[in-house]
Structure 1
Amino acid sequence: MNNLDIGSRVQNRRKEQKITLKELSERTGLSTGFLSQFERGMTSIAIDSLQNIAKILGMDMDSFFNIPKKSSYDAEPIIRSYDRKVGSVNKKYVQFYLAKDLENAKFLPRLYELWPSSENDHLKTYVHEGVEFIYVLEGILTLNYKNKVYEMYPEDTAYLDSKTPHNWENNTNKKVRILVIHYPNPFIQNDANTRTDEHEK
């Protein structure tokens, strides 16, 4: 499912519950402008932020991504490269899920392919729950962590406290590929109120 489909579902559910963009903004900590763009499919959204919105609107995360129920999986633990599920696509990157049973996995492994950057905007950092591991597979990744900028090269790794302001992007003219592992898995529903700033890579 693409960004437009996800945003449209959120918008329809929000209107059904007679919740204004301003009210949703206040409850999520996301700006009304960002939420409006998201609902119209003009920007992507962090999984953690989407999870928070889903909780508020009483929606299931798997309804956004057509995740099969656990009983539908066979015994094979392997996902072939040609069978990867696409998590999101936007003008900056495409994201692939690297695990089958996303709603029960302890951690969330993802592959990001970042397009060459065509913008010179200041990279906005964000925070969310948990910790994050990054492994650079191809290209040069620009990482902003604790307000310090790093360049990461193939086979470089980073372990981040996700509650510390951070973000990353591709500032080169070539594709960048990275493996990102997030713990705990944001697909797993819990009682904690996850607060995540806007995720705009």
Structure 2
Amino acid sequence: MDDDQRELASAVGTTLRTARLDADLTLNELAKRTGLSQPFLSQAENGRSLPSLINLHRVAQALGTTAHAILERSARIPTTLVEARVSRSFEVSPGATVRFCAPGGRTMQPNEVTAAARTCADSSTVHPGEEFVYVVEGQVRIEVDGEEPYLLAAGDTLYYPATVPHRWFNDSDEQARFLMVSSPPGF
């Protein structure tokens, strides 16, 4: 194997091992389900061999997933630096801007929102996945699914399903700055 194949074999092996452990299977149980040998599966998990696409499909099926999903999870995620001094911000509502902290296709979308005093999101939003909020400075009130609003101060966090209506407000006389991380991306 060349360097690229070794790197791929290692990444696929790690993904296979994680998926097998998540499925609560031993190597022997996986071998029985796939018809592949336990030593072969062990070599694949340890990155010493790269399964053919057909064998990867057999293993993926036994783990309740697809070969495509395993390869997708095994793809190397590029490291991306977004410097604050050169990043761009976009207005999301009057007096509030958002800065995308990790551009490109990602499995999560971190955004920094800066909200002037007495501002709010234009309206409630709903999207697939989950959302995490971390307040960096100021105070933010967040309404989630019509429940009693959550008042967050600097250092506070809130995690909720993004599939229900949610909206943020800065009711104070001070600027607020907070991170909103959506997974999968919601913007």
TM-score under structure 2 length normalisation: 0.52
Tell me the residue number matched to 1:26. Answer: none
1:153-189 Cα deviation digits (max 9, x unpaired): 11100111011121111000100000011111247xx
1:146 positional shift: 2.7
Equivalent pairs: percent with the same residue? 22
CA distance in 1, matches of 2:150, 2:92: 25
Alignment-mate amino acid for residue 141 of structure 1? V
Match of 1:81 among 84, 97, 110: 84
8 Å CA contact retained: 2:127, 2:186: no
CA distance in 2, matches of 1:78, 1:182: 19
Alignment size in residue pairs: 108
| Alpha carbons of structure 1 residues 152 and 132: separation in structure 2 relative to 1, 3 Å | same
Tell me the residue number matched to 1:176. Answer: 176
Are 1:165 and 2:168 matched, yes or no? no
CA distance in 2, matches of 1:110, 1:91: 17
Tell me the residue number matched to 1:6. Answer: none
8 Å CA contact retained: 1:88, 1:96: no
CA distance in 2, matches of 1:76, 1:93: 28
Which stretches in structure 1 are left out of the alignment for 5+ residues?
1-74, 188-201
| Alpha carbons of structure 1 residues 92 and 160: separation in structure 2 relative to 1, 3 Å | farther
Q: Based on CA coordinates, which of the two structures has the bigger radius of gyration?
A: 2
Tell me the residue number matched to 1:95. Answer: 98
Moved more, 107-116 or 79-88: 79-88
Moved more, 78-87 or 130-139: 78-87
1:89 positional shift: 4.6
CA distance in 2, matches of 1:168, 1:141: 7
RMSD of aligned residue pairs (Cα, Å): 2.3
Which gives a bigger RCO, structure 1 or 2 (Cα 8 Å, sep 6+)?
A: 1
Q: Where do residues 9-88 of structure 1 align in structure 2 (5 Å cutoff)?
A: 77-88=80-91
Alignment-mate amino acid for residue 82 of structure 1? R
Alignment-mate amino acid for residue 97 of structure 1? F
| Alpha carbons of structure 1 residues 176 and 151: separation in structure 2 relative to 1, 3 Å | same
CA distance in 1, matches of 2:88, 2:102: 9
1:118 positional shift: 6.3
Are 1:141 and 2:140 matched, yes or no? yes
CA distance in 2, matches of 1:172, 1:141: 8
8 Å CA contact retained: 1:109, 1:180: yes
Tell me the residue number matched to 2:127. Answer: 128
Q: Where do residues 104-115 of structure 1 align in structure 2 (5 Å cutoff)?
A: 104-115=105-116
TM-score under structure 1 length normalisation: 0.49
Moved over 4 A (4+): none
